Structure 1
Amino acid sequence: MTNTLQADVAVIGFGKGGKVAAAALGRAGRRVILIERSDSMYGGTCPNVGCVPTKMLVHHSGKRRPDDSPQEWFEHAIGEVQQLTSTFRAGNYDALNNADTITVLTGSATFVDEHTIAVGNVQVVAETILINTGSEPVIPDIPGLRDSPRTVTNVDLVHGKELPGRLAVIGGGYLGIEFASIYRRFGSQVTVFEASPRILGQEDEDIAASAADILTGEGVEIVTGARIVEIRGEDTVVYEKNGREHTLTVDTILAATGRAPAVAELGLESAGVKLTDRGAVAVDEHLRTSRSHIFALGDVNGGPQFTYISLDDSRIVLDQLLGTGKRSTADRVAVPKTLFMSPPLATIGLTETAARADGRRIRVAKQNVADIIAMPRAYIVEETRGMMKFVIDADTDEILGAALLSVDAQELINTVALAMRHHITATELRESIYTHPSSTEAFNDVLAN
């Protein structure tokens, strides 16, 4: 027997954008049904298998002392992570399900038509629908990779309690480098395979080289220009470099080659919702799909795969449903991102390479962290590795981009982003008064170069 539930708004997916929108719409008196496929994912990727557990592992990996057993310390860290994520998951569920206007429904959602969603034996009929199903790891089509029991994704790693003795990471981008840094600091032997001539190919060569030096200094082996030929048996990585074939036997293989929008189970064709050529839900600048009453928020719409972008997506959708309808993705400028290696790498805007290719007149201000006199905090916390770099418009003195590979970079980049959004010049940022000793006061030195 099929039960039918009526709603003003149905939200598919309990990620950041979906839950924020659901809460706001519920407070506004709308009848909301929030559908989540798994009871282990209330709150979405970030608090369960993404940002929160990985950054907590970064924290714990840095606390291990030389005499600590790597396996025991890793088990302790995973236990702490699971306790925290469980607390967050319960808090997310209770915060919404306990609201009078919101119901959380657990199960896989499939469109029946453009206003109807099937969830098991329940049909949800809604005037407005928000799709917030996020993304999922992609395992590349390498012979033997998908069949090997040693192959894992980032989701598998944050659930596993066994520290790999030797970990192979396929992919030298943000995800691969972050996990390489974490697991090396816990005590694993880590090898990163990257097909390109260097890791972090989207960054300037000097920044990428500085990051590589930090990683190799900690014992991470980086093999660039490597083509993975196959996974032989279940534990042997066969790769080609410089025309020669090599092998490496490992305990675990992390596929870190990207994530794709999670749309396979939604039955979008039944709702007439179109996809892009890359498999994301196609949306306009207001995040409306090909059906004007259906919106797509977060990773599923093919935008930048960051929790804070999903949050901003919710603001755009809420402005459509409750506000003036003027806010759009075109309003976004100076959006930062951070790679949580140790120390973190935070970037924003144009690289030097991109700015020069664009024909801009620029000046570059950069300095190694160890040489920044005005940044004693780096010495206080015993983390002097890295580099700070700014790309500045030579005519307007405005900041076009920055790469901060340093302690506290994940916080510093937000100050730079605010300056860029409000057209605060490099000179103003350089001459500002900052607390002491802090990492921010490094700007006093670096921007004087």
Structure 2
Amino acid sequence: MKQYDAIIIGSGKISETLAIKLSGRGWRVAIINPIDKTEGEDRQDLTDSLHSLAYEAEVASLLYYDDYPKQAKIYKQAITRKDRLSFFLKETNSDKLKRSPNVAIFIGDASFTSRDTVKVTSGNDYIELKGKEIFIHAGSAPLIPPIEGIETVENAYINHEILDRNELPKHLIIVGDSYAGLEFASMYANFGSKVTILESKDRFMPFADRDVANYIKEVITRNGIEIHLDAHVRSLLDTEDGIELTYTSLSGDNPKILEGSAVLVTTGYRPLTDTLRLYVAGVKTNVQGNIIVNDQLRTNTPHIWALGTINEGFPLSPLLQDDVRIVCDQLFGERTRSANDRSPTPYTLAIDPPFAHIGINEEEALKKGHSIIVTRLQASTVTHSRILHQPDGILKAIINHQNGRIMGCTLFCANAPEMINIVAMAMKKEQHYSYLRDFVFSAPSMSQSLNDLFKI
């Protein structure tokens, strides 16, 4: 049995970055990569790919709006560039890993045989590894809903699978209005596809305030995206021209048929914990199978940690990257950094225009009984949005009436992913809203809109 200071279960950027950090400290590290890497989706890679294609789609829309043949050609080129970007990012980290001493890579399926021993199985062969610290980053896989035909039809795709196809679908049907679903919808609509979203809930963007969600729905509908709520997909069938989909309301009444080129399913993820035999190591999971961790990312078995989308935290890309920082501080630093330090954390959606949010929204604040001030600003009133030819959008902020601190902010406008970081820093430093109201920003810029948003 081989012994290591650390065993890392799972592939991807987090595993490789952690291995490099630990190796730099003189630790002997074993990484266990799964045989089938397509099973555990690298969420960071998907995020990078979607944002890259979203940018290319906006360019395609400006150059060749309503010209499908030319947009299809650009889409094919964009997929090639996306693949190059993905390869570059993976190789960059992989090269660093190869140059790191004391790192051994094993290919196989991991499972616990004791609290500190992991078995790596590949076919009929296996090896057991013993580790002082064990880090689980096995990731997650797309959740496949129980739809008749989904496993057999040729033109149905699950999340990242469609990005391996370089043919632009003329009509893409998206099942689910999750974060990724909205990003895919916006991107493909800008590339020139007809896009239809089928959402089983009766509420569009349930995570957002109704005024913001309704405004976003209005904008993306204007951009050619159809949205059907309370739409429960029952079956899929391949046709000569693509695919046929049948859906009903929740009650099952009034079945309707949609025909499209392809169907994209974006209905969530499941953690890849079922084959790890976590019970042998005494590691607890929640009902969904996510590993339960404390604010230091440790499981109830202290020397076993869970990082990334496999634990029960919110799977935002910035948080995934921060997991390594928390682990290294706990092992080598002052042990003061924890998951509690990063709240509130901004998140973004690569739609058109982009969406960004931090903190709580108006509905949440009122439910909690806060006395608040709500301020809104139409993006069309911002000079720089006109310069960028992106006048659509709305900006909204929630302010504590008692102390003047910013409790939350939603930006649906050009440059929102950059601007939200300014608001985030003001919130983390517990600044009064007047700090942003009176701040001198570079001009012309979208950041200047924060002066007006907080002008109460």
* Alignment correspondent of 2:411: 404
Q: More deviation in 142-151 or 399-408?
A: 142-151
- The CA deviation string for residues 148-192 of structure 1, in whole angstroms up to 9 with x for no partner, is 322211120121112112111111121111101111111211100
Q: What pairs up with 1:191-270 in 2 under 5 angstroms?
A: 191-232=196-237, 235-241=243-249, 243-270=253-280
Look up the equivalent residue of 2:117 and give its one-letter code: T
CA RMSD of aligned residues (A): 2.0
Measured after TM superposition, the shift of residue 201 of structure 1 is 1.1
- Asked if structure 1 preserves the Cα contact closer than 8 Å seen for 2:41 and 2:141, the reply is no
- Segments of 5+ residues of structure 2 without an aligned counterpart are none
Of the three residues 60, 74, 84, the one matched with 2:56 is 60
Residue 81, structure 1, aligned to residue 91, structure 2: no
* Alignment correspondent of 2:387: 380
- Asked if structure 1 preserves the Cα contact closer than 8 Å seen for 2:13 and 2:93, the reply is no
* Alignment correspondent of 2:309: 299
Matched residue of 2:255: which SS? Answer: strand
Residue 51, structure 1, aligned to residue 47, structure 2: yes
Residue 350, structure 1, aligned to residue 347, structure 2: no
Separation of aligned partners in 2, 1:44 and 1:232: 26
Residue 124, structure 1, aligned to residue 129, structure 2: yes
Measured after TM superposition, the shift of residue 329 of structure 1 is 2.1
Residue 157, structure 1, aligned to residue 139, structure 2: no
Residue 445, structure 1, aligned to residue 443, structure 2: no
Q: More deviation in 384-393 or 140-149?
A: 140-149
- The CA deviation string for residues 329-351 of structure 1, in whole angstroms up to 9 with x for no partner, is 22332111111101111011111
Of the three residues 336, 339, 342, the one matched with 2:346 is 336
* Alignment correspondent of 1:422: 429
Measured after TM superposition, the shift of residue 422 of structure 1 is 0.8
- The CA deviation string for residues 272-305 of structure 1, in whole angstroms up to 9 with x for no partner, is 3221122101212222113211100111002111
- The CA deviation string for residues 216-240 of structure 1, in whole angstroms up to 9 with x for no partner, is 1110111122222333567222122
- Asked if structure 1 preserves the Cα contact closer than 8 Å seen for 2:17 and 2:93, the reply is no
Residue 36, structure 1, aligned to residue 41, structure 2: no
CA distance change for structure 1 residues 237 and 44 in 2, over 3 Å: closer, same or farther?
A: closer
Separation of aligned partners in 2, 1:182 and 1:265: 35
Q: More deviation in 113-122 or 273-282?
A: 113-122
Separation of aligned partners in 2, 1:143 and 1:223: 20
Task: Give % identity.
Answer: 31
CA distance change for structure 1 residues 217 and 288 in 2, over 3 Å: closer, same or farther?
A: same
Q: More deviation in 223-232 or 395-404?
A: 223-232
Look up the equivalent residue of 2:4 and give its one-letter code: A
Q: What pairs up with 1:67-146 in 2 under 5 angstroms?
A: 67=67, 69-119=70-120, 120=122, 121-146=126-151
- Asked if structure 2 preserves the Cα contact closer than 8 Å seen for 1:47 and 1:89, the reply is no
- Asked if structure 1 preserves the Cα contact closer than 8 Å seen for 2:9 and 2:136, the reply is yes
Runs of 4+ in 1 over 6 A off after TM superposition: none
Separation of aligned partners in 2, 1:251 and 1:162: 10
Of the three residues 273, 284, 288, the one matched with 1:274 is 284
Matched residue of 2:418: which SS? Answer: helix
Look up the equivalent residue of 1:440 and give its one-letter code: S
- Asked if structure 1 preserves the Cα contact closer than 8 Å seen for 2:155 and 2:238, the reply is no
Look up the equivalent residue of 1:94 and give its one-letter code: D
Q: More deviation in 299-308 or 116-125?
A: 116-125
CA distance change for structure 1 residues 79 and 47 in 2, over 3 Å: closer, same or farther?
A: farther
- Asked if structure 2 preserves the Cα contact closer than 8 Å seen for 1:16 and 1:44, the reply is no
- The CA deviation string for residues 176-219 of structure 1, in whole angstroms up to 9 with x for no partner, is 11101111111211100112233211100111111111211110
- Segments of 5+ residues of structure 1 without an aligned counterpart are none
Aligned residues: 441
Matched residue of 2:398: which SS? Answer: strand
Of the three residues 294, 299, 320, the one matched with 1:310 is 320
Look up the equivalent residue of 2:86 and give its one-letter code: T
* Alignment correspondent of 1:26: 23
* Alignment correspondent of 1:325: 335
- Asked if structure 2 preserves the Cα contact closer than 8 Å seen for 1:20 and 1:311, the reply is no
* Alignment correspondent of 1:190: 195
* Alignment correspondent of 1:12: 9
Measured after TM superposition, the shift of residue 419 of structure 1 is 0.8
Separation of aligned partners in 1, 2:317 and 2:35: 19
Measured after TM superposition, the shift of residue 46 of structure 1 is 4.3
Measured after TM superposition, the shift of residue 377 of structure 1 is 2.2
- Asked if structure 2 preserves the Cα contact closer than 8 Å seen for 1:360 and 1:393, the reply is yes
Separation of aligned partners in 2, 1:354 and 1:275: 28
Separation of aligned partners in 2, 1:47 and 1:348: 20
- The CA deviation string for residues 36-75 of structure 1, in whole angstroms up to 9 with x for no partner, is 225968x971453x11111111011111122562321111
Matched residue of 1:62: which SS? Answer: helix
Separation of aligned partners in 1, 2:318 and 2:44: 13
Q: TM-score, normalised by structure 2?
A: 0.92
- The CA deviation string for residues 6-44 of structure 1, in whole angstroms up to 9 with x for no partner, is 210011123343333222211111111222225968x97
Separation of aligned partners in 1, 2:54 and 2:321: 24
Separation of aligned partners in 1, 2:86 and 2:277: 30
Separation of aligned partners in 1, 2:334 and 2:451: 41
Look up the equivalent residue of 2:129 and give its one-letter code: V
Look up the equivalent residue of 2:185 and give its one-letter code: A
